[in-house]
Structure 1
Amino acid sequence: MMRFACLAGLAVALIVSSCNRDDTITTDSPPRILLDDPSGVYTVKTGRELEIAPRYEYAGYASFCWTQEGRVIGTEPTLLYRAGSVGTAFVRIEVTASGGTACEELRIETVELEIPVVSLPEAGRECTIAAGSELRLSPAVARTSIPTRYVWSVDGREVSDECNYTFRSDETGTFRLRFTASNDDGETSVETSVKVCAPDELPFSWSFAATEYRMAAGRTIRLTPLDIARTQGVVFTWTQEGAVLQQGAEPALCFASSEQGIHRVVVTASGGEGESSFTVSQELTVEVCAPEGTYRRPCTAASSAVAARVYEYLPAPGQFVNENYSAGTMAEACAWAERQLAKPNAFVSLGAFGGRIVVGFDHSVGCTGGYDLAIGGNSFATSSEPGIVYVMQDENGDGLPNDTWYELKGSEYGKSSTWQEYAVTYYRPTAPGMGVAWRDNRGGSGTVDYLNFHTQDTYYPAWVDSESYTLRGTRLEARNYFDGQDWINPPYEWGYADNFSSVDRPDDDPNVEAAANVNRFRIADAVRFDGRPAQLRYVDFVMVQTGVQAESGNLGESSTEVCDFRDCNCQE
């Protein structure tokens, strides 16, 4: 923008205004314009009024003219400018007095109103809970440059002025909940309803991680419904070709067979009485494959010690997701991840809890009893973001990771603070620059906060088409804390990727520059669903998942980073 003082006609004014007083020639000074904002740049929001009130010197009996694109918009010393649509406008003020004429040009930026944008997963639908239980509600609200106020109300009665709210009722019935986020620019409200039932009146629901399973002959796997909303009084019946395999309150079935081929198993849940009775069924198929070793691919002189391919890259939302790359499909996301892993000291971020990457080798990685795998991360003394490691054999020989995953047991395995089958559902934000709301299968909720120093519109993976997606796995207890100056993410003892372990890292380098450093893993630590050793002689695929759900202030979410997958015993 060019600001200038206009002195047109000043010479004439000097001559005209000069006079002879006692043989002394005097001259009136030209007017001066002193803008109330010295930068000459003003900002106003759409639909609002902006008062521009300069100060003037030597402007007695002056005339004032405000113009925009040659059109007069004011003739007073002060201009009341009403903003229209978003954009830039240039306004000129011209002051004429006895000493001459002065002018200034100023710029007005009209910007959008910052009305809060709200994303609440439960909005517009009815939630059902048992009397006496809790429902935690955690809306995501886009950050604005002005303070935001929050109000929760239940059936019209205000109950909280916090963003997050936990609803609980010992009485049955349906309650209407309303959340309002407001600031000086406006407000946004969303509503949901909560139906509170007696425990034996809860509607039955369940889910399944898969409906097709594969296993090597002679092995045992667990088939189980997940996220069961009601278990009281429910009977689970497992049948195969009409024959009852198991019946009772236990929902899971341990399936074992040495007979190769496709086995069809049906689980039926039934319960309730009278009008509230129900019966639902789900068919599952289990392919019993050839015995272990049938499809093993030995390491040869031509084999690469480094993982050859990325089969899946599905991060949870996180601050490095969608940043500096574009992927519209899973294939494009995997191709990008492969390119990253091929670069020195380049990382692939898995985002918040459950974010995962699946890689495969061009040979089978053998189990030696010692360290067999090395996975690079960027941990250092105060920054460990542990990733759970899983391994898989190509049991059906099709070259794809569609068989049985086995977790590699780490130091936290089996502790009461470690949760198996933990699941988190992430919801697409409703506007750019918003945190991502999430809800888990244990009644928890929260947001993956958006950090304003990042530039991508959203942390929600661009190649996920659905409005929400669920990630499931083992969750470790978060250890992050703020020490008064910095956020600290302490290490776990051993057994996790991107973890500053004193046990499974190969050296004592403090890694103060957060460069690539590895953790090593034993295939012998692979466990079955019941914690017993899986006794795998080799593996073909490796998966890493972020193992914690935690936020660390200006550091953002805890997210496992990986940079390398290597067979420790393969000589290149």
Structure 2
Amino acid sequence: MKRAIFQMIVLLTIIFATSCKDDQEVSAPLISGIEAEYTIEEGVALNLSPIITNDNQSAYVWLLDGKEVANTPIYTFNSAKIGVYTLVFKVSNKGGTTQKNISVTVTNGAPVVSGIQEEYLIEKGDKLELTPDVTGGGELIYQWILDGKNVANTPAYTFNSSETGNREIILKVTNPKGSVEKKISVVVLAETIRLETTTYSLLSLDVPSYSATEKTTQWEVIEASSELYRLSFTDTPNPMFVAGKEGQYILYKSEGEIKGKIIITVNKRKTQPSAYISKVFDYMPAPGQFVNKLPEYNEGDSHEDMVNKVGEWLIGEDAYMITLGGWGGYVTFGFDHTIINVPEKRDFRVNGNAFGAALGRPGAPFGGSCEPGIIMVAYDKNKNGKPDDEEWYEIKGSSNFSAEKEPWYTMAKENHNDVNVYRDYEVTYYKPTKEDPEISGEPDNPLAFTTIKNYIRWEDNKKNSGYKIKNVYHSQSYYPGWIKKDNITFKGIRLPENGINEGEYVPGINEGNIYFVLYGFRYGYVDNQTNVSPESGIDIDWAIDKAGNKAGLPGIDFVKVYNGVNQENGWLGECSTEVERGEDLHVLGKSISTIDE
């Protein structure tokens, strides 16, 4: 008895498991037995009887031009009106839903032509076989017309492309109930040009002209192996192309009616590019409290020695911070490849030491230690491996022309900051005549940090002048030690003063309630946003030429950064841009969307 009960339990378990398995393995329906296109005469019924596989407790829906017309597995289409109709047949079960789209053309009995395209692109010398599918009762009469001339009366036609340009072919088919015309545009391309290059290398598209009279040339990329490429139309005679991924890139060049194909094969470089700064070309800080320390100047060091030291600090991934000193101080460096100007993306970043304030005005915009450096960029137009004076373009940051859109602008204006932008600014700094303290500074007293009040004299081209002070925190000379001249002059753009003493919002922070917050500009500068912020990324498409027009550069090889703000900020000292690691965001695989104003 126990054995019989056990056998019954086993049998029921198998049946139950099989039942569950069947429920789990229901497959979605499959539809066959009907075509994707039909052509019928008006008034003729079209019976559609599809074959349905996996038809397990299925639901059926027929849609005619978006409206439900039946819920059966078969359907008869009728129409008394000429036109093109769209049928959709949907079948659903527990395994899913499948649908079949059907196009039905209703005619008056005149011929219907299909099987040929409206446009063809072929190369010069190629043959184009045109073999249309024609439906329609009675005798069919064919007429092929090329550029207005009758060239054939056969069901098929072969076009021989002996000349470049646009050609028009008309196929006219007639039967006893009417006629139909099909227009075909044929673009005969010029001979395909094949070029080769390597990743991250600029390629000048020096290709022959198709027309001696046509002055308008258009270019377009129709196929690309990745989004890391740029086709650029700069101030060079030919477009420039650069790509970051190997593969094939296909372009079209059009001159009037003549179009040609250019196939660019991009090969991998023998050595992969470094994502970081690879060479420092120049370094000249303006006087400032960190000058001669970041990096350190040793007695007897020349300008070349200091440039080499800056290279030791900036080149590679493990870079160290250098100072640019006061307004105008700069550094120039480059990469071992062209940083690609990828559309709609930020392309590179230069790190600084910007950070947000822990205290300050409630609800204020981002600020803290934001000491913006203006950016200039260049690509190696003449391929001499170094930046030349005529190659520089300006990265148009958010306040290169006006600061009125900055979220702190009103605050700064009410604080009586100079919020003007001077695009023709010049400052001359004079070598100090004394270095030893005249005043006994107190490091812990924000009202007594000065050791030399009239330390480094300066004057600008806006009829302003004054002295840089020397503070108790830094005792070395603030004037570049390797400069033997009695004065140095810097030229460029002067940004608005962004530092505001917010000590009134932090009562008791120190004896004088002095707490300067240097507010961040929205975008486009070095040492202005935190290094991890997307807003520290730079889009090469922000570059403008000397006339203020968008440059549209293919990419860049060189970068120059100079301090953009001339302002003293209490015991913090002068606004001094600091520069650290430079990064190619694309080589690092970082994708940061840009902004477009």
Smaller-chain TM-score range? 0.3 to 0.5
TM-score by length of 2: 0.43
| Greater radius of gyration (CA) | 2
TM-score by length of 1: 0.45
